[in-house]
């Protein structure tokens, strides 16, 4: 990878400056303190299983906190996301899963009262560097949302959207990318004879696979997915889950789900979040069959959430 995230142009969006009040707010968390190994009430010391540390990280979230105005939504989250694996973010509604995911490709910048502390790195490069090229960053990280959001244009134009933005005009390149991406998203056979039809004519499950095709057409390093199956029926959900399995390896996938069966079926690693904090993070089988913290166990056994 030769591209760099630092733009030579003036940045359009800048990281909010960490402020003194932010640091003060940081010292008075409203949620329960998590105890460190040393036993002090040390804030947000997550239990990270050893296996995670043996992986090669592609995305590193470093002591990251986020505030919506006076309200702190993320507390000192520190985690490394392994390359080529599927990592699931689980936790009860409102615990900050979407906030964390949106921070990774800086969509939260679009909300003006958001303030952050800490940093994140993509392949070693700071995501919150003051001169980061946010457009380039978002190209390197595809995002798939809860509700499929195809653009109101043809199936074909949806898939090659990022290439159009880049000014690609060679028909062969466009057609080849469209086919490769649609095949990659397990949609080609269903749409190959109707590429010029409106994307809005597809079913919900097809629309979501189209959004995945559009994301992978840009050849991202990381795919971010925020509850991508929650608006879909069981058959469409199975297709997306199979698709995620087939994309793994080529892509690093960070997926939010509140469906624990789905997390246990699809992911290699699972991170459990609660009240804006990372609580426990480890191999999915360990988190689901042998969690080390009581809080994790209570959540995965359905005692709360």
Residues of this chain that interact with Mg ion (CB under 5 A) are 98
What is the distance between the alpha carbons of residues 299 and 303, in angstroms, rounded to a whole number? 6
- Compare residues 68 and 151 and give the one whose CB is closer to ligand ADP: 68
Which of the choices Mg ion, ligand ADP, none does residue 68 contact, using the CB cut-off of 5 to 8 A by kind? ligand ADP
User: C-beta of 232: minimal distance to ligand ADP in Å?
Assistant: 18
Q: Which of 6, 13, 41, 111 binds ligand ADP (CB under 6 A)?
A: 111
149-152 long-range Cβ contacts below 8 angstroms, 24+ apart: 149/211, 150/199, 150/200, 150/202, 150/207, 150/210, 150/211, 150/214, 151/199, 152/198, 152/199, 152/200
Class of residue 83 by CB neighbours under 10 A (exposed 0-12, middle 13-18, buried 19+): middle
User: C-beta of 111: minimal distance to ligand ADP in Å?
Assistant: 5
Counting residues that bind ligand ADP (by CB under 6 A) gives 12
- Compare residues 156 and 269 and give the one whose CB is closer to ligand ADP: 269
Q: Which of 65, 76, 99, 270 binds ligand ADP (CB under 6 A)?
A: 99
Q: How many CB atoms are located within 10 Å of the residue 188 CB?
A: 17
Contact map string, positions 68 to 97, toward ligand ADP, x by CB under 6 A: x--x-x-----------------x-xxxxx
Phi-psi region of 74 (alpha: psi -120 to 50; beta: other; left: phi over 0): beta
Which of the choices ligand ADP, Mg ion, none does residue 95 contact, using the CB cut-off of 5 to 8 A by kind? ligand ADP
What is the distance between the alpha carbons of residues 180 and 176, in angstroms, rounded to a whole number? 6
Which of the choices ligand ADP, Mg ion, none does residue 99 contact, using the CB cut-off of 5 to 8 A by kind? ligand ADP
Interface with ligand ADP includes 139 (CB under 6 A)? no
Which segment (67-75, 144-152, 158-166, 185-193) binds ligand ADP by CB under 6 A?
67-75
Q: Are 217 and 178 in contact (CB under 8 A)?
A: yes
User: C-beta of 258: minimal distance to ligand ADP in Å?
Assistant: 8
Q: Token pair 């904090």 is at which residue?
A: 277
Interface with ligand ADP includes 98 (CB under 6 A)? yes
Which of the choices ligand ADP, Mg ion, none does residue 111 contact, using the CB cut-off of 5 to 8 A by kind? ligand ADP
Assign 3-class secondary structure to 180-201: HHHHHCCCHHHHCCCCCCEHHH
**By beta-carbon distance, which residue lies closest to Mg ion?**
98
- Compare residues 76 and 99 and give the one whose CB is closer to Mg ion: 99
- Compare residues 6 and 111 and give the one whose CB is closer to ligand ADP: 111
User: C-beta of 247: minimal distance to ligand ADP in Å?
Assistant: 22
Which of the choices ligand ADP, Mg ion, none does residue 73 contact, using the CB cut-off of 5 to 8 A by kind? ligand ADP
Ranges of H-type helices in the chain: 20-26, 50-53, 97-104, 134-140, 155-159, 161-165, 171-184, 188-191, 204-217, 234-247, 260-266, 284-289, 294-300
Q: Which residues pair with 117 in a beta bridge?
A: 65
Q: Are 161 and 214 in contact (CB under 8 A)?
A: yes
Residues engaged in binding ligand ADP (CB under 6 A): 68, 71, 73, 91, 93-99, 111
């Amino acid at each position: 990878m030769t591209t760099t995230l630092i733009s030579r142009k003036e940045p359009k969006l800048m990281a909010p400056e960490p402020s003194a009040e932010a640091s003060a707010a940081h010292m008075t968390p409203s949620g329960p303190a998590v105890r460190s190994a040393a036993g002090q009430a040390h804030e947000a010391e997550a239990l990270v299983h050893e296996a995670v540390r043996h992986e090669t990280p592609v995305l590193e979230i470093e002591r990251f906190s986020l505030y919506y105005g006076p309200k702190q939504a993320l507390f000192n989250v520190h985690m490394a996301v392994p390359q080529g694996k599927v990592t699931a973010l689980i936790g009860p509604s409102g615990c900050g899963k979407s906030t964390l995911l949106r921070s990774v490709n800086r969509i939260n910048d679009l909300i003006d009262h958001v303030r952050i502390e800490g940093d994140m790195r993509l392949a070693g490069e700071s995501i919150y560097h003051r001169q980061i090229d946010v457009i380039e960053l978002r190209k390197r990280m595809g995002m798939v949302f809860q509700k499929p959001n195809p653009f109101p244009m043809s199936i074909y134009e949806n898939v090659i959207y990022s290439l159009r933005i880049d000014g690609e005009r060679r028909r062969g390149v466009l057609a080849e990318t469209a086919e490769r991406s649609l095949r990659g998203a397990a949609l080609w056979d269903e749409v190959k004879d109707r590429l010029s039809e409106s994307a809005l004519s597809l079913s919900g499950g097809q629309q979501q696979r189209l959004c995945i095709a559009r994301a992978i057409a840009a050849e991202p390093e990381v795919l971010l997915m925020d509850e991508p199956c929650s608006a879909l029926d069981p058959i469409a959900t199975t297709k997306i889950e199979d698709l995620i399995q087939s994309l793994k390896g080529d892509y690093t996938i960070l997926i939010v789900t509140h469906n624990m069966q789905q997390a246990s079926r699809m992911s290699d690693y699972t991170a459990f979040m609660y009240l804006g904090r990372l609580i426990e993070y480890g191999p999915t089988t360990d988190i689901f069959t042998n969690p080390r913290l009581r809080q994790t166990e209570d959540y995965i056994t359905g005692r709360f959430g």
